[in-house]
Structure 1
Amino acid sequence: LAVAAWMLVRIVPERVALLLWAVPALVLAALLWAESRARSAAAWGLRVAGVVAGLYGVALTAASALGGTDPLAPLAALGARAHALPFHVIKSVADLDRGVAEAKASGRTVLVDFSADWCTSCKEMERYTFTDPAVQAALRNTVLLRADVTRNDADDAALLRRFGIFGPPTIAFYGADGRERSGYRVVGYMKADAFASRTRAAFGSPP
């Protein structure tokens, strides 16, 4: 089961991958618990190992439900969810234009985040950069749009062409006037302090 899970996690979304890792952990827990009842001499050690494996399997399952992606730190999903930014997922160029227009009408800036389930750097941005207090403060009056291009379909391709990019991670900033500050785009992973500075500069710059 562990080998099968290891092979499948390469081709499935990370949230599903956590569930795949949970299966062998829970099966191992059941086997160890059953074995502990048959061998009284080693029962204590087997039961402890079974409980640990079971708790790990439960933690992986819970992390998957909460949007976690890291099998080595499943409980980190609890903190990440509590500090997650409220992104609105867009699917088309029309969604993008509508979101920017609505933000302009209310005098707000816009951040557009290109992401995908298979994008490792996107997950790093989500986990380490977007949860940073300084970054969240810089985005306090900002409409957050996320272009999920996981499916790579026609709508995704149109969004990528609109920005002249090949894929995620790419982040674009729009001023409150509805115009992109193209000179401030972020491509790839950026640490929180640098991203907070880039955000403040982008939103404070003229078109």
Structure 2
Amino acid sequence: PGPHVSASNDPPPETPRKSQGSAANHVLWVDTSRDRSGRLVRERQVGTSKANDTEVECVVRLVKMLNQAAGRAGRKPGATDLGIITFYGPQIRMIRRRLDHVDAAEKEFLSIRLNTVDGFQGAEQSVVIVSLVRSKRGRIGEFARRFERINVAMSRAQKLLIVLGAVETFRNVKVCLPGRDGKTRTRRCYSHILDVVRRYGGLRTVRDLL
């Protein structure tokens, strides 16, 4: 089974069930609140949008690590499909530029697709990296609070989901959820996802990665 993560308002399970047992190996969250030196990470303004240099570096490192793992597993070149998703166009462009400069041998076993969450509608990949970008105090913009976007981003992975996001920013973000009765309810969806990740020991730091 794929990652057991949902952005819905259903509470996380109290105890692992057999159908969820693989979640420990299938869902990771890398907390990008602080860099490898322990300094607070802050997003950058790019025109009217946002970017996060630390998360770009994390993506590059993950690409190399995933490529190494695919090679050790005896996969054929290009056989492991990897999706890289973010809510912000400048972040995708920065990641693409950095990956263009990565040696071909360090990504040869991967078939990489990069796009914003809106461009990933209906597409699934074996492995997905989600870069949340935002790292600030206070309220964040609508892009990262839209239930539909969160749900798409967190549900594209078939085997492994890796979320890059500042826990200090996202744990208290409130999201409006559509109800079956037509009413909307406010929930801390990212906190829900973090609870699941923590339960299975999947929370990491930038220092663990870089």
Which TM-score band (shorter chain)?
A: under 0.3
- TM-score, normalised to structure 1, is 0.26
Give the number of the structure whose alpha-carbon radius of gyration is greater.
Answer: 1
* Higher helix residue share: 1
Q: Which has the higher relative contact order, 1 or 2, with Cα contacts under 8 A spaced 6 or more apart?
A: 2
